[in-house]
Amino acid sequence: MAFPGIGEIPVGYAPPTLRLLVEIEQPRTVHGVLRSLTYRVTLFVEQPVGESEVGHLSTEVMFASPMAYRALRDTRRRTTLVTSAGLRDTPVPPPVEPALVARTNERNVVLTSVEADEREVRGVLRLPFANPSLFDHAQDHVPAMVLTEAARQLALVALADTHGLSTQHTHVSAITGRFLQYVELDEPTVLHLELPSPPVRAAPDHPPRSTAAVRVVQGDRAAATIELALDTLPGPLAVRRAIA
């Protein structure tokens, strides 16, 4: 997933109009039943004249019958499978300060604590089950989207703390994720991020880019790895100075 044109999205009085082009590749069937395929999605935004491409992604998905899926999930657990719907009223741990992760509403914060040593920054996953943006339907595991958002939030904390970058002006420009196993809803999950290197410019007219490699760990198992590229864009005052 990459967003090379994110800086070209127009800012106006109304949300921009987006168009998604979805292509399906490499479908695989077994005895006439679809088992896996690859989605390739290109994202376009409407400009004053025509439209421009702002991002693209590729994802591989696999399909299983309800019986096969349940058998797969039962092999991982020793207790009854729980769902996010059944946990909606569970008390949620306090979030980190929303401004630290470029949020204004604590409902959208998915880290409950962050600590660091000389090697890495660690964050504990926080799951607001009643937030429909994160759990729009009953889930029996933590969605990849939520894990990716947690990785983004941890990267922002680390970049601000180690290099003084603005969280409000630092945006994800590319994501590469490998999701290795289901992340259970009712077990502690910790994200680990090696201390990021200073941001660099690929060219004089490019924004400073930082990279972050996050490991998602539950118990003694690595559940996912998420690599992020983040660009720190100039703030509104810097833009005005450049225009002037």
Question: Residue by residue, what is the 3-state secondary structure of 140-176?
Answer: CCCCHHHHHHHHHHHHHHHHHHHHCCCCCCEEEEEEE
Find the mean pLDDT for residues 144-160.
Answer: 97
Find the mean pLDDT for residues 145-159.
Answer: 97
Handedness of CA 134, 136, 142, 144 (dihedral sign): negative
pLDDT over 80 at 236, yes or no: no
Whose CA is closest to 20, among 3, 2, 38, 45? 45
Q: How high is the pLDDT of residue 8?
A: 72
Determine contact, residues 148/177, Cβ cutoff 8 Å.
yes
Q: How high is the pLDDT of residue 76?
A: 77
pLDDT over 60 at 238, yes or no: no
Q: How many helices (H) and strands (E) does the chain have?
A: 3, 9
Q: How far is CA 167 from CA 111, 118, 161, 172, in A?
A: 15, 22, 10, 11
How does pLDDT run across 207-221, given as a tens digit for each residue?
899 999 999 999 989
Q: Would you state the structure tokens that stand for residue 13, as one six-digit string?
A: 């009085």
Q: What is the location of CATH 3.10.129.10 in the chain? A: 82-243
Q: Would you state the structure tokens that stand for residue 142, as one six-digit string?
A: 């933590």
> In which element (H, E) is residue 241 found?
helix 236-243
Q: How high is the pLDDT of residue 13?
A: 73
Handedness of CA 26, 30, 36, 42 (dihedral sign): positive
Whose CA is closest to 155, among 172, 143, 140? 172
Compute φ and ψ for 219, nearest 5 degrees: 65, -125
pLDDT range class, residue 244, cuts 50, 70, 90: very low
pLDDT over 80 at 96, yes or no: yes
Within 13 Å and on the Cβ side, how many CA atoms surround 59? 14
Helix (H, G, I), strand (E, B) or coil at 101: helix
Q: How high is the pLDDT of residue 104?
A: 94
pLDDT range class, residue 55, cuts 50, 70, 90: very high
> In which residue are the tokens 């696999």 written?
62
Homologous superfamily (CATH) of 82-243 is: Hotdog Thioesterase (3.10.129.10)
Burial of 36 (0-12, 13-18, 19+ CB in 10 A): middle
47 vs 91 pLDDT, higher one = 91
Alpha helices in 88-227 (DSSP H): 144-163
From CA 136, how far away is CA 149, in angstroms rounded?
Answer: 15
Find the mean pLDDT for residues 50-58.
Answer: 90
Find the mean pLDDT for residues 166-190.
Answer: 93
Q: Would you state the structure tokens that stand for residue 216, as one six-digit string?
A: 């998602």
